[in-house]
Structure 1
Amino acid sequence: MTRTIDFYFDFISPFSYLAQLKLPDIARKAGCEVAYWPIDIPEAKIAAGNYGPSNREVLPKIKVMKADLERWAERYGVPLTFPASFDCADWNCAVLFASQHGKAEPFVTDAYRRIWGLGIDPRDRNELAACATAAGLDADALITFVESPVGQTEYRKARTQAIQRGVFGAPLMFVDDKIFWGNDRLDFLAEYLNK
């Protein structure tokens, strides 16, 4: 039986973008699969009792966070551009459609490239459609799913299950009974998988 890494993320999270750059390769090297679980970070934080403001609202923190993000992007040799908006709920929902069609990894990878690599506006339906097509999905069917009560119910159910599991932020990876939080914990995850 193949081990699974449950990857909880939100497209508003630049640290999840960084984690996704390395996680698929770590999983393949360890003979694991990645299960992609979209969350809503503000919702998960509140459910966990963290009522503080978002990082973007704490000016000294965002200044340091941006510098850290730039260092990580330079280390990984990738672009990092803050997106035109942080309205990523439809993209998160779309992951569930991509997962149902066996295309979660290419969809998530290209979505992060667009949102945090290029800095597109996630509210742009043309970008969402282009990402679906690039991942080998039917773009019209994906957008129909995102806009449907079925898609919204599935996304709400996924978020509820994440909160019940104790997800409080992103990126967060579960494997066996272990939890790894943050792209800077990927080395620990790889070490654990290779023991």
Structure 2
Amino acid sequence: MNGVRSVRPRFYFSLRSPYSWLAWHDLLRDHWDLAEQLDWRPFFEPDSHSSALLAAAGGRFPYTPMSKAKSLYVLQDVKRLAAERGLSFRWPVDRNPIWEVPHLAYLVAARHGRGQDFITAAARARWHEGRNVCDPAVVASWGDELGIDGSELAGAADDPLMRAQGVQALLEIQRDGVFGVPFFTLRHQKFWGVDRLVAFTEAVKRRRESSVAPVPAGAERLGLRKDGSVDDGHAGGCG
């Protein structure tokens, strides 16, 4: 919260966004090991209450509504991308949604160590069942499978503490220069869109490889392998 960029690579996602859903699907399908190491951060449009709190904190939300033409394009595009992945889905109808309901509930689940499981439940409900994930009753229904009190999840948007945490999440969106989702960050590097997931994962891999400490000169003569482990010449490593 002090303005220092996260050392861990981040994945900004929205439970509203079909492109976030597709990126989440690809990430777990192809890069499940990386998924466990990411800093997962929610991106959501604030309601009037959160907007007022955000403005009071000196922030603003970087989002503008889509045009009708873009909305129609997204309908076609998501159907095409989902078909490429062998996914069937039901397009949900959002009526006066309050996006704090599922996203602040996600923060509650993350606090309990069940953040990714919450996203799984929300994705299933929204994109496969066509349910309204902004309905507190729907969110509460995931409590049993997550092992979390459903009322705690459903009431997150009414909890002043969770509202404050939500505002901090919105401020981080602004600080990281996030303008849409899915959005990935690796320190100062930024990747926007489901089609940038591969580039992001490759960048993370390169950074890991470059962070491995080099083997000192002459180390192999001392029995130190190139990967940094020690081989003392005995089959069992003892002796």
Relative contact order, CA 8 A, sep 6+: which one is greater?
1
TM-score normalized by structure 1?
0.83
Instruction: Quote the residue 1:90 is aligned against.
Output: 101
Asked if 1:61 is matched to 2:70, the reply is yes
Report the counterpart of residue 5 of structure 1 in structure 2: 9
Matched, 1:18 2:22: yes
Output the amino acid matched with 2:128.
G
Match of 2:82 among 52, 73, 77: 73
**C-alpha distance after superposition, 1:12-58 (max 9, x if no partner):** 211111111122355434485122211224789x644x6x5x22xx2
Deviations for 1:95-120, whole angstroms, at most 9, x for unmatched residues?
Answer: 11111111111101220221122211
Counterpart residue number, 2:135: 124
Q: Secondary structure at the match of 1:8?
A: strand
Contact 1:4 1:32 in 2 (8 A): no
* Identity across the alignment (%): 25
Query: Alpha-carbon deviation of 1:141?
Result: 2.1
Q: Which has the larger radius of gyration?
A: 2
Q: 3-state SS of the aligned residue for 1:7?
A: strand
Following superposition, the deviation at residue 91 of structure 1 comes to 0.2
Query: Per the alignment, in what secondary structure is the counterpart of residue 162 of structure 2?
Result: helix
Task: Tell me the secondary structure at the aligned position of residue 179 of structure 1.
Answer: strand
CA–CA separation in structure 2 for the residues paired with 1:4 and 1:78: 30
Partner of 2:43: 39
Quote the offset at 1:150 in angstroms: 0.8
CA distance in structure 1 between the aligned counterparts of 2:187 and 2:32, rounded to whole angstroms: 16
CA contact (8 A) 1:5 1:32 kept: no
The one-letter code sitting in structure 1 at the alignment partner of 2:163 is Q
Compared with structure 1, are the counterparts of its residues 25 and 145 closer, same or farther at alpha carbon in structure 2 (3 Å cutoff)?
A: same
Rounded to whole Å, the distance in 2 between the matches of 1:14 and 1:39 is 13
- TM (norm. structure 2) is 0.69
Structure with the higher fraction of residues in helix conformation? 1
- Segments of structure 1 that go 5 or more residues without pairing to the other structure are none
Task: Give distance in 1, aligned partners of 2:70 and 2:43.
Answer: 23
Q: Distance in 1 between matches of 2:93 and 2:44?
A: 18
Shift of residue 93 of structure 1? 0.8
Matched, 1:145 2:164: no
